[in-house]
Structure 1
Amino acid sequence: MLLQIRGIISTISFLDIIDMAIVAYVLYKLYIMIRDTRAVALLKGLAVLLLATLVSKWLELNVINWLLQKTMTVVLVALPVVFQPELRRALEQLGRGRFFKNSSQLNAEEKETLFTELTRTVTALSKNKIGALMVLERDTGLNDYIETGIKVDGLVTSEFLINIFIPNTPLHDGAVIIRGNRIQAAGCLLPLSDDRTLTKELGTRHRAAIGISEQADAVVIVVSEETGIISLARGGRLHRYLDADKLKEHLAPLFVAKTSSLSDLFSWRPS
């Protein structure tokens, strides 16, 4: 066995290693793309079906194995239809050159647009003393909290956000969670901070903002309903009394694009 393994390793060339690395990276990006969608559950079902087919063949359960094989054939034919949204998104990202970088990573223009829309939103909400809680996802995924709200998946605009937080509307209670430049969900429930040193004048919104920033690397923007004060929470700390310019100053360095070595490989050009 050891000699066979050595023989296999000796036949692997440097190009084979590059080949396997590229395939592994593409599969990883595909997984990242579908991990937050219903496709994950469908893939699990497909894996169970495949396992059952192999077991029935091993146990020589001919009738069950025949039925499972026919079912697998039907499923494989139906896969392009079932995964149509994911396939379309993959092709769109490939066409835009985003397949080999984080889909939630924004370029400079998109970040500037996002910050502008957010500052316009908080300025209007603060002026009218309308409470708001907006969570900006970074590296730590917030799917558990997204599931507690109402899925939205809409582009971030000041008009959209203001409409969400208008009092007595269905989604005004709870938090909005933003991934990249899209609103993933509204009306989300967040964990409250247990920090007993916090001043008692901070309400539920502020404690929720600090709470989620303690558990994830998210950045949270809060507008007080009582005073209209704009605050930002990150790393379990709350920065208060911000205006539009100061809010931008806080946000800008937190969303600097991180380029991985693999993405460098795909974006490299000879000089």
Structure 2
Amino acid sequence: MPVSFFERFSDLSIWEVLINIVDILLVWFVLYKLIAIIKGTKAVQLLKGLFVIIIAWFVTKELGLRTLYWIMEQVLRWGFLAIIVIFQPELRRALEQIGRGKLFSRGSQQEEEERNRLVESVTKSVGYMAKRRIGALISIERETGLSEYIETGIPMHSDLTSELLINIFIPNTPLHDGAVIVQQQRIAAAACYLPLSESPFISKELGTRHRAALGLSEVTDAITVVVSEETGAVSLTANGDLHRNLSTEEFETLLRKMWFGPVQEPQTGPKRKRGVKKNG
């Protein structure tokens, strides 16, 4: 008579149970870290394709489709080598992080310094463009992927610096029209098209850049920075909210909170409604 799962579990000692629990937790943690590394890259789409092939392999086996099953079996058998080639950039990045001791680290000093550099770079470029009334539109990816919008622009895959952001939005240059999208703390693409908001409650004095920023914030959790070409005013959108007329200090503080998620301060007043918010 087959032994039930609970009978097998009851035969284990407390130490064996703890070892099994730790083993499972470590496997899930490693998988979580691997998913975090490839999130927002083309590897995600490739993994979806691999998942479809595995399902097709199982279905053909159950239905007895021998020829198709043999093809799927060969694809899976030799697919390991293909995965190494296809996922080479992601695997290299993971190995580099392991070598630096960063794969399992969290909140290290280097990460904090990098965060400060990114916020300061965006703040410096926005301040420069605001004084000279250079229109700009910068979207920062968070949890929701922006790959479909990145594909509408010109690929860059460049380090995020204030000098590069300023040069992109200089008028009459090839990349100044459209949005810059920041993905995984790097400039993924420029001259990207964003969805325009269709909300009837948006002020008529707001132009296309503000509507695009709000439109993206309505369908994703991205942060979008807007510099008005007419007034030089700095705005920031996230989660369907538009924060307008921000000073340099207000912009830097708000950007840091939204981008890297600090400890939330307790609310002392009534909750504000979603929509356009004015500062100053």
Q: Please report the TM-score for the alignment, with normalisation by the length of structure 2.
A: 0.76
Query: Residue in 2 aligned with 1:30?
Result: 34
How far apart in 2 are the matches of 1:31 and 1:232? 29
How far apart in 1 are the matches of 2:139 and 2:60? 49
Stretches of structure 1 lacking an aligned partner (at least 5 in a row): 260-271
Query: Residue in 1 aligned with 2:134?
Result: 130
Identity within the alignment, %:
48
Deviation at 1:156, TM superposition (A): 0.8
Correspondent of 1:252 among 250, 253, 256: 256
Query: Residue in 2 aligned with 1:111?
Result: 115
Residue 179 of structure 2 contacts residue 194 of structure 2 at CA under 8 Å; is this kept in 1? yes
Correspondent of 1:204 among 202, 208, 230: 208
Correspondent of 1:228 among 204, 212, 232: 232
How far apart in 1 are the matches of 2:58 and 2:239? 49
Q: Deviations over 1:196-240 (max 9, x none)?
A: 233211101011212222333332211111222222223333232
Residue 101 and residue 56 in structure 1: after superposition, are their counterparts in 2 closer, same or farther (change >3 A)?
Answer: same
How far apart in 2 are the matches of 1:18 and 1:7? 21
Stretches of structure 2 lacking an aligned partner (at least 5 in a row): 264-280
Residue 149 of structure 2 contacts residue 194 of structure 2 at CA under 8 Å; is this kept in 1? yes
Residue 110 of structure 1 contacts residue 181 of structure 1 at CA under 8 Å; is this kept in 2? no
Q: Deviations over 1:135-181 (max 9, x none)?
A: 12333433343333333221111111112212233322221122343
Moved more, 57-66 or 27-36: 57-66
Which has the higher relative contact order, 1 or 2, with Cα contacts under 8 A spaced 6 or more apart?
Answer: 1
| 3-state DSSP of counterpart to 2:114 | helix
The letter for the 2-side match of 1:98 is K
Residue 238 and residue 44 in structure 1: after superposition, are their counterparts in 2 closer, same or farther (change >3 A)?
Answer: closer
Q: Please report the TM-score for the alignment, with normalisation by the length of structure 1.
A: 0.79
How far apart in 2 are the matches of 1:53 and 1:237? 46
How far apart in 2 are the matches of 1:37 and 1:255? 19
How far apart in 2 are the matches of 1:161 and 1:97? 31
How far apart in 1 are the matches of 2:102 and 2:196? 36
Query: How many residue pairs are counted as aligned between the two chains?
Result: 257
